[in-house]
Amino acid sequence: MRRRRGIGSQSIVLSNPKKRNALSLAMLKSLQKDILHEAESQDLKVIVISAEGPVFSSGHDLKELTDEQGPDYHAEVFRTCSEVMMMIQNHPVPVIAMVNGLATAAGCQLVASCDIAVASDKSSFATPGVNIGLFCSTPGVALGRAVPRKVALEMLFTGEAMSAQEALLHGLLSRVVPEEQLEEETMRIARKVASLSRPVVSLGKAAFYRQLAQDLRTAYHLASQTMVDNLGLPDGQEGIKAFLQKRKPIWSHRVASSEDPGP
């Protein structure tokens, strides 16, 4: 389910609370479609993923993982899920998770995969698959890149939940606030991101993830080129000019000097 907000923020809401927002194959495909829907629109500046009900998401729909479906179906489920997670990282705009409740297994993976994650202090996080004989190996990909490895391994081996405060401490969350401030704080960050130049943010996001996987010298080579490219963007020059002239920048959101500005 998706909604638009005036500020350039797209809101995607997991809205199957009766099934604890399980990431069934249908739900994953719908999520994929929603995430891609406006990716190329110059008006889109930020995506916020939230959920209805007390469970953010309980992960895969276990009814889809029984013997009856068989390994080919299982493979499609995990491939689609992995594609959704990578799509978040590869998306041109920042994706924020707004979590108010329990996020488990692939639900926890979804939080770990977002660029920014804000949670209410009553939220908690777990990878409990091991309890039902299905080790959270794909959630471990995102979790193991978000928190120290001993933190990830304890969650994976014991299935025990981590509080929002612990998740903040260990890097799984960006911010924890009381439940009544969750929407306000998340939208404050979303508005901030939406006030920035889209091509500048896109370029920076892509470069950040790309350089992080490289050795230091290659990373600096890539990032230095990104800085030069960024300065070549119309908004790169506008921002610096505005700063030196002590005025607010006016973003064109154009990706090249010769390009037709967005609507």
- Is residue 63 close enough to count as binding a copy of itself by CB under 8 A? yes
Which residues are registered as beta bridge partners of 222? none
3-state SS assignment for residue 210: helix
Q: Which two tokens stand for residue 57?
A: 């998401």
- Is residue 19 close enough to count as binding a copy of itself by CB under 8 A? no
Q: Closest CB to a copy of itself among 216 and 263?
A: 216
The only residue of 98, 124, 230, 254 in contact with a copy of itself, by rule CB under 8 A: 230
In 3D space, the residue among 156, 150, 161 whose CA is nearest the CA of residue 130 turns out to be 156
Q: How far is the CB of 38 from a copy of itself (least distance, A)?
A: 18
In the region spanning residues 113 to 152, those forming contacts with a copy of itself, defined by CB under 8 A, are 115-117, 130-138, 140-141, 144-152
The DSSP code sequence of 151-175 is: HHHHHHHH---EEHHHHHHTTS-SE
Q: How far is the CB of 52 from a copy of itself (least distance, A)?
A: 23
Taking the alpha carbons at both ends of the chain, their separation in whole angstroms is: 25
The only residue of 32, 82, 165, 181 in contact with a copy of itself, by rule CB under 8 A: 82
Distance of alpha carbon 61 from alpha carbon 136, whole angstroms: 14
- Which range binds a copy of itself by CB under 8 A, 15-23, 47-55, 72-80, 178-186? 72-80
Angle between helices 216-232 and 198-212 (to 10 degrees): 170
CB 82 within 8 A of CB 138: yes
3-state SS assignment for residue 142: helix
- Is residue 247 close enough to count as binding a copy of itself by CB under 8 A? no
In the region spanning residues 43 to 62, those forming contacts with a copy of itself, defined by CB under 8 A, are 62
In the region spanning residues 150 to 209, those forming contacts with a copy of itself, defined by CB under 8 A, are 150-154, 156-160, 169-175, 189, 192-193, 196-197, 200-201, 203-205, 207-209
Q: How far is the CB of 256 from a copy of itself (least distance, A)?
A: 14
Q: How far is the CB of 148 from a copy of itself (least distance, A)?
A: 3
Which stretches of 94-148 are DSSP H helices? Answer: 106-113, 137-143
